[in-house]
């Protein structure tokens, strides 16, 4: 089967990693898979560019698509013409721009599938497609009740995420002490609730005085969080690890006993929770997006007291996260169901 993913973004962030891992798993299953990305916006100093990463993976589409929200009308028209000429069985779109382009430029005989990566995309004006995916089960009824073919597309996990061979040795290398070692791994922004996490950690330390907290990431609220940590007298018990990516991020995650995920950003697939589970790090999470499906212990309400209660509960989820191969098989089955519905 020839599959073309459309991803109108110049960044290898947000849903891009999930798309790459899905495409790789589909290719490993024996299919011809390519990913078209934004080729117009080349100056992306703040984030990792998508083109080099997809090219390195052997997935970058060179079919002439500009695929950019910044394209002028004649650029869009060129993309429509190029897409219509493609010989593929499936066009899998991931953003609104992709979906509109695919809606009007669909190649003859191709199935059109749309992945929704955040709830804001699930609106009344959603263009028609043969099938859809959503990042969390809580969003699925809104499509099924309208008679649409849909299923959940869970977070896929890179093979680099696995338990540390020697967690204690890794902690020594990173200069980490204390037990248990708790962490928050997310951008410092209001939706991630670092304020709640730090307050919860202050309460947690009354029960477990040897506990330590590691905060991985950067963002607008970083300095405000530093002040909060100082005001609560937690400076010696909190490590600010800064922004980490690639293998370095894997190492920091592997070092933890437990991660607190108290909110989501734009990507509701809760990839950080799936990555933590793959590293055998316990997940304590609020009920947002796919987090309830991945958490070992759920936080019913995002308050410091509720976080501490869940963290101290010792609960562990009994169900393993599906492998990338299984997720790819389920998406391929969705393609087949969509074609049969014609």
- As a whole number of angstroms, the longest Cα–Cα distance in the chain is 65
Domain that holds residue 300: 167-312
Q: How many CB atoms lie within 10 A of CB 28?
A: 12
Residue pair 247/161 in contact (Cβ under 8 Å)? The answer is: no
For residue 85, is it within any domain? yes
Q: What are phi and psi of 133, to 5 degrees?
A: -125, 150
In a domain, residue 317? The reply is: no
202 shares its domain with 286: yes
Structure tokens at 241: 């690890």
Q: Are residues 128 and 172 in the same domain?
A: no
Q: What is the pTM of this model?
A: 0.90
Q: What is the pLDDT along the chain (342 residues), one digit of tens a residue?
A: 999 999 999 999 889 999 999 999 999 999 999 999 999 987 766 578 999 999 999 999 999 999 999 999 999 999 999 999 999 999 999 999 999 999 999 999 999 999 999 888 888 778 899 999 999 999 999 898 888 999 999 999 999 999 999 999 999 999 999 999 999 999 999 999 999 999 999 999 999 999 999 999 999 999 999 999 999 999 999 999 999 988 999 999 999 999 999 999 877 899 999 999 999 999 999 999 999 999 999 999 999 999 999 999 999 998 788 999 999 999 999 999 999 877
- Separation of alpha carbons 62 and 55, rounded Å: 10
pLDDT at 13: 82
- Residues 257 and 132 both lie in one domain: no
User: Is 138 in the same domain as 278?
Assistant: no
Task: Assess whether 19 and 147 both reside in one domain.
Answer: yes
What is the 8-class DSSP label of residue 249? H
Question: Is 160 contained in some domain?
Answer: no
* Domain presence at residue 161: no
Model pLDDT, residue 24: 98
The reply to whether 244 falls in a domain is: yes
| 147 and 186 share one domain | no
Q: Residues 65, 38: contact at Cβ < 8 Å?
A: no
CA dist., res. 226 & res. 240, Å (int): 8
Look at residue 159 and tell me if it is in a domain.
Answer: no
If one counts the domains in the chain, the total is: 2
CA angle 104, 106, 108 (to 5 degrees): 130
**Residue 221 CB partners (closer than 8 Å, separation 6+):** 188, 189, 190, 194
Residues 86 and 196 both lie in one domain? no
Same domain, 61 and 176: no
Contact 91, 102 (CB under 8 A): yes
CATH of the domain at 30: 3.40.50.2000
Structure tokens at 258: 């437990």
pLDDT of residue 44: 64
Does residue 293 form part of some domain?
A: yes
One domain for residues 145 and 68: yes
Residues 202 and 275 in one domain: yes
Q: Is residue 329 part of a domain?
A: yes
Distance CA 7, CA 119 (A): 18
Residues 191, 281 within the same domain: yes
Same domain, 22 and 146: yes
User: Which among 36, 126, 127 has a CA at the least distance from the CA of 86?
Assistant: 36
Distance in angstroms (rounded) separating the CA atoms of residues 203 and 209: 10
């Amino acid at each position: 089967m020839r599959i073309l993913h459309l991803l109108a973004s110049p960044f290898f962030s947000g849903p891009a990693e999930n798309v790459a891992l899905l495409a790789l798993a589909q290719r490993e299953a024996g299919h011809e898979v390519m990913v078209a990305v934004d080729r117009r916006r080349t100056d992306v100093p703040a984030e990792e560019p998508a083109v080099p990463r997809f090219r390195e993976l052997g997935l970058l589409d060179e079919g002439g698509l500009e695929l950019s929200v910044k394209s002028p009308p004649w650029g869009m028209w060129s993309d429509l013409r190029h897409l219509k000429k493609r010989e593929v069985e499936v066009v899998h779109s991931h953003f609104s721009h992709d979906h509109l382009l695919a809606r009007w430029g669909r190649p003859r005989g191709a199935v059109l599938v749309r992945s929704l990566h955040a709830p804001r995309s699930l609106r009344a004006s959603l263009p028609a497609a043969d099938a859809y995916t959503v990042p969390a089960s809580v969003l699925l009824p809104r499509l099924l009740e309208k008679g649409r073919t849909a299923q959940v597309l869970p977070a896929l996990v890179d093979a680099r995420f696995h338990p540390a061979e020697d967690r204690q040795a890794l902690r020594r290398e990173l200069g980490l002490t204390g037990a248990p070692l708790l962490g928050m791994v997310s951008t410092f922004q209001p939706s991630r609730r670092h304020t709640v996490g730090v307050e919860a950690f202050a309460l947690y330390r009354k029960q477990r005085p040897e506990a330590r907290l590691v905060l991985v990431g950067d963002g607008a609220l970083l300095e405000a969080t530093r002040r909060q940590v100082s005001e609560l007298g937690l400076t010696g018990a909190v490590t600010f690890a800064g922004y980490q990516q690639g293998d370095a991020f894997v190492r920091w995650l592997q070092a933890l006993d437990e991660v607190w995920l108290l909110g989501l950003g734009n990507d509701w697939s809760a990839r950080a929770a799936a990555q933590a589970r793959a590293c055998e790090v316990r997940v304590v999470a609020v009920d947002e997006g796919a987090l309830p499906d991945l958490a070992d212990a759920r936080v019913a309400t995002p308050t410091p007291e509720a976080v501490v209660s869940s963290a101290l509960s010792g609960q562990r989820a009994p169900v393993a996260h599906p492998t990338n191969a299984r997720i790819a098989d389920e998406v391929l089955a969705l393609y087949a169901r969509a074609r049969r519905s014609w």
